[in-house]
Amino acid sequence: MSFIDSLRVAIDSLSAHLLRTVLAMLGLIIGVGAVITLLAVGRGSQDDVQRNIRSLGVNLLTVRPGAPSTGGIRAAAGSRPTLTYEDAQAIAAPGGVDNVGAVSVEQNIGIQIVVPGGSNFATQAIGTDEFYSIVRNTPLASGEFFYEDHLRTNAMVVVLGSNIAQTLFGSLDAPIGQQVRLSLGRTGATFTVIGVMSSRGGTALGNLDDRVLVPITTMSRTLVRFRAPTGIFVSTINVQTTHPDTMPLVAESIGALLRERHKVTEDDFQVQSQQDAMEAAAGVARTQSVLLGSIAGISLVVGGIGIMNTMLVSVTERTREIGIRRAVGARQRDILMQFLVEAILVCCVGGLLGAATGIGLSMAVNGREILGQTMHARLTPDAVILSLLVSIGIGIFFGFYPAARAARLRPIEALRYE
């Protein structure tokens, strides 16, 4: 019997028991659809994380306080301030570190912002400098950002996040020129709004739209004392390099400069590249995708078991038919081929329907807000092809035993079967 003949017989047999065939396919349809959808969602989440990291700035090196050692006892990383605004200025200064485009600092504190009339907002204030908007890629929606004179004169100015501007003033243009009071406990001062940042949404560092920016010098003098004999303490120094290829060299140069300035032999700071963060995030996302795909893959196995069960029932029902075919000259391999083609055909059709279901679900989920979270799905051909190949493999694996059992039936016993 040729393959075409086996395929024709398989179609006739499956059509004769259409409901049973559909039920056998159902597990496979659900499994393939779930695998494709969850892989698409996993890859969409990976893209979101990468996009958020890139939105924080390009070619970025982040310097944070390290783990200082006192008396041979090493403290936790970031437990003691070791970086200063003057360190950042030394990195950016001519002759400081080569291949540096811009340098900015950050110092975060929790504050209460109050406007005339009593409206208030609990948020975080970021003490920074005039290069923050360049390094952190934060364009303005209205007004202007800090400039050098603001830091030199400890100007009482503030830039608002878009959410705060909308909440307190109703629009992004209204706050410009208005006065707000920033309070930290019993300490507080009145600031003039000079700008509003464009909406950024949530990032790896939280929602920047809910924060305010003030000059680092003003924050240190007015809200909280960050000053020390060596300068103004900061929590982060952001260094933007001129090209991605120069990041390792710049990181090494920053380390040498800071060790010299801090007069230490062991680093009391950490230099991390944007690429490191992206690779770590990508690793987590890949693990998540594999986990989701594996969970969905369980339903493929269940679907395969269902197909095996259906084929075993079919072999039992058609025992007399098998005996007649053997009596008129059909060989064992012909019977094997007949039932194996049926199993593969069921899996192929089920896999195609499952792939269509997965593609449809991925498109439906993409951009939808579910439980307060906007979902993104990135559908790739390899996920669809892999799912289809797995469904064919399931057909061969779970269809072989029923087919082999049918082929091993003795013609005489099969003919006598009722």
pLDDT tens-digit profile of 22-38? Answer: 888 888 888 888 888 88
Please, which pLDDT band fits residue 418 given cuts at 50, 70 and 90?
low
Backbone angles phi, psi at 307, to 5 degrees: -65, -40
- E-strand spans in 115-201? 120-128, 140-143, 157-160, 179-184, 187-197
Say how many C-beta atoms besides its own lie within 10 A of residue 178's C-beta: 16
pLDDT of the residue at 215: 93
> Where are the chain's structural domains?
3-53+279-416, 83-267
Q: Take residue 121 and report the two structure tokens written for it.
A: 């907002």
| More reliable by pLDDT, 61 or 2 | 61
307 compared with 357, residue with greater pLDDT: 357
The answer, yes or no, to whether residue 128 has pLDDT greater than 90, is yes
State the burial class of residue 337 (Cβ atoms within 10 Å of its Cβ: 0-12, 13-18, 19+).
buried
The phi, psi pair for 147, rounded to 5°, reads: -135, 180
Q: Are 153 and 170 in contact (CB under 8 A)?
A: no
Classify the C-alpha dihedral 12-15-16-21 as positive or negative: positive
First vs last C-alpha separation in the chain: 26
% of the chain surpassing 90 pLDDT: 12
Q: How far is CA 233 from CA 193, 211, 245, in A?
A: 25, 20, 30
pLDDT, the chain, mean: 80
Are the C-beta atoms of 214 and 127 separated by less than 8 Å?
A: yes
| Residue 414: predicted pLDDT | 58
Give the confidence band of 225 by pLDDT, cuts at 50, 70, 90.
low
pLDDT exceeds cutoff 90 at 316: no
Residue ranges of E strands in 96-149: 100-114, 120-128, 140-143
Dihedral angle computed from the Cα positions of residues 14, 17, 21 and 22, in that order, rounded to the nearest 10 degrees: 130
Give the tens place of pLDDT for each residue, 61-114. 889 887 655 555 555 555 567 889 999 999 998 888 898 888 999 998 888 888
Are 135 and 237 spatial neighbours (Cβ–Cβ below 8 Å)? no
